[in-house]
Amino acid sequence: MNAFEQHESSVRSYCRSFPVVFQQARGAELITRDGQRYIDFLAGAGTLNYGHNHPLLKQALLDYIESDGLTHGLDMYSAAKESFLETFHRLILKPRGMADYLMQFTGPTGTNAVEAALKLARKVTGRSNVISFTNGFHGCSIGALAATGNQHHRGAAGTGLSDVSRMPYANYFGDQVNTIAMIDKLLDDPSSGIDKPAAVIVEVVQGEGGLNVASAEWMRKLERLCRKHDMLLIVDDIQAGCGRTGSFFSFEKMGIQPDLITLSKSLSGYGLPFAMLLLRKQLDQWQPGEHNGTFRGNNHAFVTAAAALEHFWQDDSFAASVRAKGQRIAERMQRIVRRHGPDSLQLKGRGMMLGIGCPDGDIAAAICRHAFAHGLVIETSGAHSEVVKCLCPLVISDEQIDKAMDILDAAFAAVLSAQTATQAS
Amino acid sequence: MNAFEQHESSVRSYCRSFPVVFQQARGAELITRDGQRYIDFLAGAGTLNYGHNHPLLKQALLDYIESDGLTHGLDMYSAAKESFLETFHRLILKPRGMADYLMQFTGPTGTNAVEAALKLARKVTGRSNVISFTNGFHGCSIGALAATGNQHHRGAAGTGLSDVSRMPYANYFGDQVNTIAMIDKLLDDPSSGIDKPAAVIVEVVQGEGGLNVASAEWMRKLERLCRKHDMLLIVDDIQAGCGRTGSFFSFEKMGIQPDLITLSKSLSGYGLPFAMLLLRKQLDQWQPGEHNGTFRGNNHAFVTAAAALEHFWQDDSFAASVRAKGQRIAERMQRIVRRHGPDSLQLKGRGMMLGIGCPDGDIAAAICRHAFAHGLVIETSGAHSEVVKCLCPLVISDEQIDKAMDILDAAFAAVLSAQTATQAS
Amino acid sequence: MNAFEQHESSVRSYCRSFPVVFQQARGAELITRDGQRYIDFLAGAGTLNYGHNHPLLKQALLDYIESDGLTHGLDMYSAAKESFLETFHRLILKPRGMADYLMQFTGPTGTNAVEAALKLARKVTGRSNVISFTNGFHGCSIGALAATGNQHHRGAAGTGLSDVSRMPYANYFGDQVNTIAMIDKLLDDPSSGIDKPAAVIVEVVQGEGGLNVASAEWMRKLERLCRKHDMLLIVDDIQAGCGRTGSFFSFEKMGIQPDLITLSKSLSGYGLPFAMLLLRKQLDQWQPGEHNGTFRGNNHAFVTAAAALEHFWQDDSFAASVRAKGQRIAERMQRIVRRHGPDSLQLKGRGMMLGIGCPDGDIAAAICRHAFAHGLVIETSGAHSEVVKCLCPLVISDEQIDKAMDILDAAFAAVLSAQTATQAS
Amino acid sequence: MNAFEQHESSVRSYCRSFPVVFQQARGAELITRDGQRYIDFLAGAGTLNYGHNHPLLKQALLDYIESDGLTHGLDMYSAAKESFLETFHRLILKPRGMADYLMQFTGPTGTNAVEAALKLARKVTGRSNVISFTNGFHGCSIGALAATGNQHHRGAAGTGLSDVSRMPYANYFGDQVNTIAMIDKLLDDPSSGIDKPAAVIVEVVQGEGGLNVASAEWMRKLERLCRKHDMLLIVDDIQAGCGRTGSFFSFEKMGIQPDLITLSKSLSGYGLPFAMLLLRKQLDQWQPGEHNGTFRGNNHAFVTAAAALEHFWQDDSFAASVRAKGQRIAERMQRIVRRHGPDSLQLKGRGMMLGIGCPDGDIAAAICRHAFAHGLVIETSGAHSEVVKCLCPLVISDEQIDKAMDILDAAFAAVLSAQTATQAS
C-alpha cells in the first residue's frame, strides 16, 4: 500500500485512472518520478490552457516570489492585483465592448465563483429560483451543487438542493425541439409551477456534461428570453473560457451580453487557484464583505494571470492558432469516427474542447486506459462518462497533437475491434 | 478614482480599512508600494502563522518552481503530495495519537473543507440536521453558510439555509449556565423539535465570533454528548489550528478525539490556497470523486506546507515559543485593559489568538483606525465588531510585539479619552 | 359595509363574484335569503356531485343526528365508520378489481389527503423528490402547495417549496410532443439534474388548471414510466373523482392501477368535510398516528357518504346518466363555440367536467358576470382564468341544463359581440 | 379480523387504545354498539368542550338541515356564516376588547389554520423564519409540522422542515432559567445564527406537549419580546381555547394582545370540522383566495358554533363553572398524587386542561388501560407520553367527575403498587 492509499481518503479519483506519481510537467507533457513522459490531454480539466509551467509565466512568478512580493493579503489592495485589474480591463474587457464589467475575486475555486453569482443574482432580483440546465456542471458546494445536474455529486449533498428549476439544454430533446420556446411557455404560464427565476446559469459548451454545444442562435434566444422575463443571464465560463473555444470567452461573436460571468480554471494561466466573477456595473449591489473568503485574491495568481494576458491576448493571433489546432484535432477525430464507428461514434464539442461520443461508458473507459498505457493522459465526460474528451493545452504543438491522435486512433481500433469480436462471438 | 474603485466590485472590504497599496511583505511586516512599513496584526485573518514569505518556505517553493515541479494535477498522484502526506502523518498525526486519520484535499478554501465535512457527516449517519453554535463562523458557500451565525453573511444567501440547529456556545448565557446540559436535554426530548443531528461543528476558539473560548472541560462534555447521541464531532480548526493557540491543533491536551477536523488558512504555511479535511478512517465512506473541485491538492501548497512542518513541528519548541509570546501579548493587553477600561474592556482569547473586547463596534473601529495611522494593521471581530483582534504572525519578534502593543496602547488611550471627553461634555 | 366586509378577512373570494347571501339549496339550485334562485354550475368546485342537500342523504343524516350517533371520535372505531368502510369496499373497490386497497382518513380537506399521500410515498421509497405537472392543483398547505402549479397560491407560501420537479402535462407542448418520452429521457439521464423521484402526482383531468385532459394512452404510458423508474403513481382524484367524469374514478377503464389515490370534495356526498387516501396494501407502512389530525374520520360524512354509495353506485346506471348528460352539455357547448367563436373558443374537459376556453381571462370573467346576472352561478379556471367552467351537480335535470346553457349562450353572445364591437371601433 | 383491520390503514391510532365500536354519545358519555357506557376523558382531544351532541346545538343543526339550509358554499356569503360572524364578534371579540380582529375561515382543520397563520405572518413581515417552542404541537401538514416538536410526526415529513427556530418554552430548563431572556439575547445578537423571525407561535398551555403551562408573566414577557423585535405573536389556541382553561381564550386576563390566533377543535361546539384564524385588522394583507380550500366555511359548523356561543358565552357563568370544576378535578388529582406518588407524580395543567405526570410512558399507558377497563376513556400526552391527561367535556357533572376520579384513583393504585412490587422483587 503506497502513501496515497495509506493516508488519503478514498474520495481521490483521477489517480485511479493514472496510477503513476507525477513529478514534473512542461507544456503539454507530464513527467513521472521515474522519468516517464505522457502527453496531457486532460490539462487539469481545462486549467492548463497555456500548458504546464509556461516559461514566461514561470519567470514572472519566480521574480515576484524572489522580491518578497505580497503572497497573501485577503482583499487588501496589492500592486499585483492592481496590475491584473488594469491588464484584464485593457486586454480583455475593453476590446470586447465590456468596459463596464466589474471584477469580483471570490474564493479561488470555480464553485465559489458560482456561489457568488447565484447569491448576487438572487439579491439583485429579490427572487430565489434559478434556472439551470440538464447536464450542467457548476460545482459541488451546496449552493452551486443545486445547479449541477450530476447525480453522483448531487447524491452526496446530504441536505436539500432547492431553488433551482431544471430546463432542457440546447438540443437536449433533439435538433427538432426548440427548448427555448418550451422554457418561454413555462415562464409565460402563471400556473406552470415554475417560480419566476432570478437568473439562468448556462455553459456555452458543457464540459463535464459531455461536450454539448449551444449554438450562437440558441444563446441569443436564451438572452432574449432572459430580457423578456427579467432574469439575469449567468454564463459559467469556467471550463470553456480563457481561450478554450478559440476566443477568450466562449460566447464571443454570439452577440450576447451576459450579466454575470464566472471564470476560474485557466484564468491564472499557471494552474494556480483563482476565480473571478464578472458583473455588469449596475448589478454591483454587494455590501462590503457580504460574500467573502480567506483566499480571495491570490497574488501569485494575479501575477501569472497578468503575464498570461500580456503574452497571449495582445491580439487575435493566439486565438487564431487555437482555432487552427482545433480544426486539426477535429479532422483527426472525424477520421477516427469514420474509421472506427461512423454510426456509433460522434464528434462533439467546439474549438479545442472536443471529444468523441462512444456507445457507452465502458467503451470510453477502455479507450482511455489503452491510451494511457501508450503515453496519453485522457479522460471521459458526459452523463454516462461515454465521451472521450480531448482537453489538451492550447499551446500544444502539431507534432504532439499528431502523436496523441495516433495513440487515440490505436486505442479506438483496439477497443472497438475487441468489442466487435466480443459481440460476434 | 483608483484602479480598484474603478474595476473591482464593491464587495471588497479589508482594503476599506487599510487604503494603501501593499507590494511586499516579510515576516510580520507589510510594505506598501511607496515603502511604508506596517506591523501585521491581521496576518491574513490567521493565514500567516509563519509570517509573510518565510525564507525557508520561499526557497522550497522557488526550487520546486525552478525544477518545473508539477503545479496543477487535480487529484492525481504527485511527488509533492506524497511528501506532504508522509510528513503530516509523521510529524503531526502520529505523535498526537492520531495515526488513523486520513486526509482529504478539498477545494483550497476553508468553506470547501467545511462543505466536505458536513456532507460526509450526513452521508455516514444518514441524517441531515447538524448542530452549530452561536457566533460560529464556518464559511460563506451555502452549505457552510447554513452553519455560520453571522447575519451579514446569512442575509446574502438568497436561498434557504436549512438543516442546522443553532445551540448556545460555551458560556453564551454566562458562566453559570451549562450549555451542554441544555443541548443534552433537547436531544433527550423526543418532542423538543430538534431533529437527531448527524454532527456537531464547533470552533475551540471562535475567531470571527469574537475570540470566545471553549474550555477543555466544555469540549470534553461536548465530545461525551456526541458519543451519547451518536453524533459526529467536527472541529473546525481553520483559524485556531496550525499552532495559533500554542499547539498544532487547538484541542490538543483536551483529551478529545474529533471525528472530522477542517484545516486551511495557515496550513500551506505561505499564504497559498489550501484546505484539508481530516477524517477518522472508519468514516471514509466517500465514493471516488463524490466531492470534488479543480484545485483540490495545490502542489505549491504541498511543498510549502511540508517545508513548514519540517521546520516548525519537529518538536515542541515552536509551540512553546508561541505560548510564551502569547503570554507576553496577554500581559501587555491586560495592562491596556487595566489602564484604559478595567470595567469596560475585556481580554479575550487564548494562545496567540487574543483580543480586547470594547464597549461597542464604533470604539473598536476607531482604535483600529488610530493604530493603522500609526503603523499597525489590525482588525475587529465579534458579533458587533467590538473586539480588537490581535492575530499577528507566530514568528513575530518580541520587539515587534512591544512596538505593536505601544501603538495599540496609544490608540486605546486616544479613543477612550476622546470617548470620555464626549460623554462628559 | 355588510357583516362579511366588516368581520371577515379580505382573503374571501367566491363571494366577490356572487355578492348575494345564500340561505338554502336543493339539488342544482341555490336560493338567496330573499328567495332568488340560481342554477349552480359551480357545485362547490366539484363538492356537490349529488346536488345540494339530496333528500335521501339528508334523511340519513337527520336520523343519525336524531339518534345521538357519535359525531366526533378522532380515529376511534365507530359504527358509522365501519359501515362506510364496508360499503366503499363492496360497491367501489371490489367491483373495480381494487379489493386490496386500504383506506386512510386524513384531516377532512383535500390538501391534507395530498400531504398524506406525499409523506407515505416518500417514506416508502426513502426518496424526497416528487414529480408534479404544469397546471396541477393539489392544495395550499405547504407540502401540497409545493406540488401545486398556481403562482397566486405559491407566492403566498412564505417558505421554500422544495422537493418537487415540475414536468409538462399531457399535450402541454401541443399534440405532437410526447411529454412522457421527455420525462423518461430526464429520468434515464444520471446528470439531468432530476433527482430520482419517490412518486408522480397527477390529475386525470386538471380542474383548476383549466380542464386539461390526459388521454387513457398518456395515463398508461405514465404508469409504465412509474414502473420503469420505480416511482409510485399518485392519482389526485379530488375534483375529477366520485363520478364527475362518468365513472367513479376518473381513471377507470384506462387500464392503470394507481398506487395512491386521494379523494375528497364529493366523497361525503353532502358537502361535508371529508377526505380519504386510498393506498395499496403493500404500501401501508404507516406507524400508528404518524400522520394525524383532529377531524380525521368525520362521522356525519361517513353516514352521508355510505348512503350516497348505496343510492348511486349499486350499478352503472348513475354513471351512464352522467355520461349522457355530459354529452348533452358538450353538444350545447360545442354549439356555443361554433356560434360565437369557432376559432377563438375551445371546448375543454371530459364527462361532466367541461368548459369553454376563451381568448383571455377578462372575457371569461365578463361571461360569468353576465350569466350570474341572469341566474347562473358559474366560475372560471385555468392558468389565466380563461376557461368558463361548467361543474354542475351530476343530478341536474335536462331542463336545468338547457336553461343554464341558454343563459350561457346569451352571455357568450353579449360579451363576445361587445368585444367585437370594441375591437372594430 | 374486523372491518377496520381489514380495510383501514395501520395509521389508525386511538382505536388501538379503545378497541370497541362506539355508536352513540351524549354529554360526557360514549356508548358502544352493544350498549356499554364510558365516561369520556378524552373529549375528542379537546374538541368536545360542550360534550357530545349537546341537545341545544343538536336541535339547531337539525332545524338547519331540515330547512335545506346551505350545507356547502365554498366561501360564498351564507346566512349561517353571517350569523356566526355577528355572534362571535358580539359575544366573544367585543367584550374582550378585541373588536378589531377579523375572521378567516380556513380549511376545517387546526393544521390548516396554522398554515394560514404562518403564511400571513411571513407575508406581512417579508421574513421566513418563525420561532416555535419545545414540545409545541401545531399540526402535521408540512408547513405546520415544521413548527411541531414531536419527532414521531416530524420523522414522517419526508421533506425538509425548514424556516423554524426552536426555542425553550416557559420553565423548559427549570423554574430558575428565564427562557425569554435567552431568546432575547439570541435575537439581539447579529451573529447568533437565528435569522430575524416573522413571528412566534405559542400555546399558552401545551396540550400534546404534556400540559405545560406558561404563566401570565411569561406570556407578557413574550409579547414584549415580540414588540421589541418586531415579530408577530401567534397564539395557537386550538386545544386550550373555547373555554378549556376557564375563559374563552387561554390568554384572557394576561394582558396580552396576540396578532394572530388560531381556533379549531371545540369551535363548532358539536365536533364538526371547523377552523378559524383571527387576525388584527391591520395585518389583513391577503389577496382574495390566496390561501384557500374547498371546505373553508362549513355551514353546519357555523350553525352549531353560533348556537354554542349564544348558549354558553352570554356571560361569565359557564366560564365560572369551568373554573369550579377544574378546581374540583385538580383537588382530586392532587389527592391521587399525594396518595400514590408524592415524589414521583406531578399535577400538571390549568383550568380543565389537567393531567398527572408519571415517571414514564409505560406507567401512564398502564394506568390508561386500567381506567379504560373500568369505564373511562382517557389518554396520555407529553414528550414521553408520560402524562395521564384529563380532558373531559366542560359540561360534565360533578357526579361524573367523581366517578371518573374514582376510576383513575384505582388505576393509579393498581399500576403503581404493581410497579412498586416489581421493583421490590
Integer Cα distance of B206 and B204 in angstroms:
6
Beta strand segments in D27-177, E:
29-32, 37-40, 101-105, 130-133, 164-167
Nearest CA in chain C to B126: C126
Asked, for residue A51, whether it belongs to a domain, the answer is no
Work out the pLDDT band at D1, boundaries 50, 70, 90.
confident
Whether the per-residue pLDDT at A175 is higher than 80: the answer is yes
**pLDDT at residue C35 greater than cutoff 90:** yes
CA neighbours closer than 13 Å in the CB half-sphere of residue A65: 28
Q: Assess whether pLDDT exceeds 80 at residue D35.
A: yes
Kindly state the average pLDDT of the residues D147-163: 97
pLDDT for C297 equals 87
Domain-located, residue A4: no
Question: CA separation (Å) from C191 to A339, C186, D50?
Answer: 30, 8, 59
Q: Please list every residue in chain C whose beta carbon sits closer than 8 Å to the beta carbon of residue D284.
A: 9-11
Q: Which residues touch C188 (CB under 8 Å, ≥6 apart)? A: none
Question: Would the CB atoms of B77 and A4 count as touching at under 8 Å?
Answer: yes
D392 pLDDT tier (thresholds 50, 70, 90)? very high
In angstroms, the separation between the Cα of residue A188 and the nearest Cα of chain D is: 20
- B191/D135 CB distance under 8 A: yes
Q: Are residues A367 and A298 in the same domain?
A: no
Q: Which residues of A touch C192 (CB under 8 A)?
A: 134-135, 149, 166, 383
What residue has cell string 522557488? B62
CB within 8 Å: D76 and C15: yes
Q: Are D92 and D309 in contact (CB under 8 A)?
A: yes
* Shortest distance, CA C331 to any CA of chain D (angstroms): 28
Euclidean distance between CA atoms A222 and D193, whole angstroms: 38
For chain D, the average pLDDT equals 97
Hey, what's the cell of D35? 350498549
The verdict on residue A172 lying in a domain is yes
Three-class DSSP category at A190: coil
D281 and D136 both lie in a single domain: yes
User: What residues contact C307, with CB distance under 8 A and at least 6 apart?
Assistant: C56, C57, C60, C61, C269
Q: What is the per-residue pLDDT for C423? A: 67
Asked if residue B421 has pLDDT above 90, the reply is no
Give bridge partners of residue B274 from the DSSP assignment: none
Q: Which residue of D has its CA nearest to B168?
A: D192
Which candidate in D7, D31, D164 is best for mutational testing of the C interface (most C CBs within 10 A)? Answer: D7
pLDDT of residue B424: 63
Q: Does C280 lie in the same domain as C334?
A: no
Q: What is the CATH number of the domain that holds D126?
A: 3.40.640.10
On whether both B337 and B240 belong to a single domain, the answer is: no
Convert the pLDDT of each residue in C5-25 to its tens digit: 999 999 999 999 999 999 999
Nearest CA among D387, D412, D252, D391 for reference residue D326: D391
> Residue C111, Cβ neighbours under 10 Å: how many?
34
Place of cell 394507481: C258
Cβ pair D190:B150 closer than 8 A = yes
pLDDT digits over B45-57, tens only? Answer: 999 999 999 999 9
In the DSSP assignment, the letter for residue C78 is: B
Residue C359 counted as domain residue:
yes
How close does chain C come to D286, measured CA to CA in Å? 5
C31 lies in some domain: no
Q: Which residues pair with C40 in a beta bridge?
A: C377
Cα C243 versus chain centre, distance? 11
Q: Which residues of A touch D162 (CB under 8 A)?
A: 160
- From B346's Cα to the closest Cα of chain D, the distance in A is 18
Whether D159 sits inside 8 A of C146 (CB atoms) is yes
Select the residue from A5, A7, A378, A380 to test the B interface by mutation, using most B Cβ atoms within 10 A.
Answer: A7
Shortest CA gap C189–chain D (Å): 23
Distance from CA of B369 to the nearest CA of A (A): 15
**pLDDT recorded at residue B425:** 61
D interface with A, Cβ–Cβ below 8 Å: 160, 162
The string over C302-317, giving b where at least 16 C-beta atoms fall within 10 Å of a residue's C-beta and e elsewhere, is: bbbbbbbbbebbeeee
Query: Measured in Å, how far apart are chain C's first and last C-alpha atoms?
Result: 39
Q: Which of C76, C89, C271 sits opposite D71 (nearest CB)?
A: C271
Does C221 share its domain with C357?
no
Cα–Cα distance for residue pair C195/A323, rounded to 1 Å: 38
CB distance A118–B159 less than 8 Å?
yes
Residues of D in Cβ contact (< 8 Å) with C70: 22-25, 30, 52
Point out the domain boundary residue: D292, D312, D332. Answer: D312
For residue C161, what is the nearest residue in chain B, using CA coordinates?
B160
Residue in B with minimal Cα distance to A49: B72
Residues in chain C within 8 Å Cβ distance of A157: none
Under 8 Å between Cβ of D143 and D208: no
Mean pLDDT of D76-80: 98
Classify residue A205 as exposed, middle or buried by CB count within 10 Å of its CB (0-12, 13-18, 19+).
buried
Domain end, chosen from A257, A290, A312, is at: A312
Same domain, A204 and A180: yes
Domain end (from B294, B312, B330): B312
Distance from CA of C159 to the nearest CA of B (A): 8
Which chain A residues contact residue B105 at CB under 8 A? 8
Q: What count of residues does chain C have?
A: 425
Residue-level pLDDT at C17 = 97
With beta carbons less than 8 A apart as the criterion, state whether C209 and C240 touch.
no
- Same domain? For A213 and A240 the reply is yes
Residue C52 counted as domain residue:
no
Chain-chain contact of A162 with C166 (C-beta, under 8 angstroms): no
- What tens digit of pLDDT does each residue of D220-240 get? 999 999 999 999 999 999 999
3 state DSSP class of A152: helix
Looking at the partner chain, which of B132, B173, B190 has a beta carbon nearest the beta carbon of D384?
B190
Q: Quick one: what percent of chain A has pLDDT higher than 90?
A: 97
Residue C152 has pLDDT above 90, yes or no: yes
Q: Rounded distance, CA B165 to CA B167, Å?
A: 6
* Beta carbons of D396 and D26 less than 8 angstroms apart: no
Binding partners of A (≥3 Cβ pairs within 8 A) = B, C, D
Residue B420: which pLDDT band, with cuts at 50, 70 and 90? confident
If asked whether residues B292 and B321 sit together in one domain, one would say no
pLDDT of C93 = 98
As a whole number of angstroms, the distance between CA A188 and CA B4 comes to 41
Pairing status of strand C212-213 against strand C205-206: antiparallel
Average pLDDT, chain C: 97
Contact B72/A271, CB-based, under 8 Å? yes
Other chains touching B, judged by 3 or more CB pairs under 8 Å: A, C, D
Tell me whether residue B375 is in a domain: yes
Q: What is the mean pLDDT of residues A280-302?
A: 97
Q: Closest partner residue to D16 among C143, C288, C300, by Cβ?
A: C288
The count of CB pairs under 8 A between chains B and C is 3
pLDDT tens profile A152-169:
999 999 999 999 999 999
Contacts of D144 in chain C (CB under 8 A): 141-142
d(CA D347, CA D357): 6
Taking CA–CA distances from B162, the nearest residue in chain D reads D162
Q: Do C134 and A191 touch (CB under 8 A)?
A: yes
- A140 with B115: Cβ contact below 8 A: yes
Counting the structural domains of chain A, the total is 2
Residue C23, amino acid: Q
Q: Give C417's pLDDT tier (boundaries 50, 70, 90).
A: confident
Is A235 in a helix, a strand, or coil? strand
Spatial CA neighbour of A297 closest among A148, A30, A17, A84: A84
Look at A294 and B47 and tell me if their CB atoms are within 8 Å.
yes
pLDDT at residue D425 in the model: 62
Grid cell digits, residue D230: 418586531
The residue of A287, A292, A302, A372 whose CB has the most chain B CBs within 10 angstroms, and thus the best one to mutate to test that interface, is A292
Domain assignment present for A32:
no
SS3 content of chain C, % helix, strand, coil (to 5): 40, 15, 40
CATH number at residue C345: 3.90.1150.10
* Per-residue pLDDT, D47: 98
Nearest-angstrom CA–CA distance, C214 and C239: 14
Residues 6+ apart with CB under 8 A from B145: A143, B111, B138, B139, B153, B154, B157, B161
Q: Which residues of D touch C85 (CB under 8 A)?
A: 3-4, 6-8
Q: What is the pLDDT of residue D417?
A: 86
- State yes or no: ipTM above 0.95: yes
Count Cβ neighbours within 10 Å for each residue of A140-161 and write b for 16 or more, e otherwise.
bbbbbbbbbbbbebbebbbbbb
- Is residue B419 over pLDDT 90? no
Cβ neighbours of C287 in D, within 8 Å? 10-11, 152, 156
Residue B139: CB partners within 8 Å, gap ≥ 6? Answer: A293, B109, B110, B111, B112, B114, B115, B145, B147, B148
- Where residue C418 falls among pLDDT bands split at 50, 70, 90? confident
- Per-residue pLDDT band for A425 (boundaries 50, 70, 90) equals low
Query: What's the mean pLDDT in D175-202?
Result: 97
Determine the distance in angstroms separating the CA of D168 from the nearest CA of chain C, rounded to an integer: 23
List pLDDT tens digits, range B286-323. 999 999 999 998 999 999 999 999 999 999 999 999 99
The answer to whether residue D6 scores a pLDDT higher than 90 is: yes
Q: Taking 90 as the threshold, does the pLDDT of residue D421 lie above it?
A: no
What digits encode the pLDDT tens for the residues A349-377?
999 999 999 999 999 999 999 999 999 99
Helix extents (H) in D8-93: 14-17, 43-46, 55-66, 79-87
Same domain assignment for residues A221 and A132 = yes
The residue to which cell 407502512 is assigned: C285
Q: Is the pLDDT of residue B154 over 80?
A: yes
Query: Using CB atoms, which residue from C168, C190, C208 is nearest to A383?
Result: C190
Minimum-distance CB partner of D65 among C58, C159, C273: C58
Whether residue A424 is predicted with pLDDT greater than 70 in this model: the reply is: no
pLDDT of residue B418: 76
Interface of chain A toward chain D, CB-CB under 8 angstroms: 160, 162
Enumerate the residues of chain C whose CB falls inside 8 A of the CB of residue A166: 165, 186, 192-194
Q: Which of D30, D71, D109 sits opposite C112 (nearest CB)?
A: D109
Clarify whether residues C321 and C308 are in a common domain.
Answer: no
Q: What percent of chain A has pLDDT over 70?
A: 99
Closest CA to D349 of D326, D373, D377: D326
- Chain D, nearest residue to A160 by Cα: D160
Residues B83 and B215 reside in one and the same domain: yes
Count of beta carbons in the 10 Å neighbourhood of residue D96? 15
pLDDT band at B423 (very low <50, low <70, confident <90, very high): low
A359 and A301 in a single domain? The answer is no
At residue C254, does pLDDT exceed 70?
yes
User: Among all residues of chain C, which has the CA nearest to that of B161?
Assistant: C160
Q: What residue numbers bound the domain in which B408 lies?
A: 316-396+403-420
Nearest residue of C to residue D265, measured between CA atoms: C294
Confidence class for position A417, pLDDT limits 50, 70, 90: confident
pLDDT at C424: 63
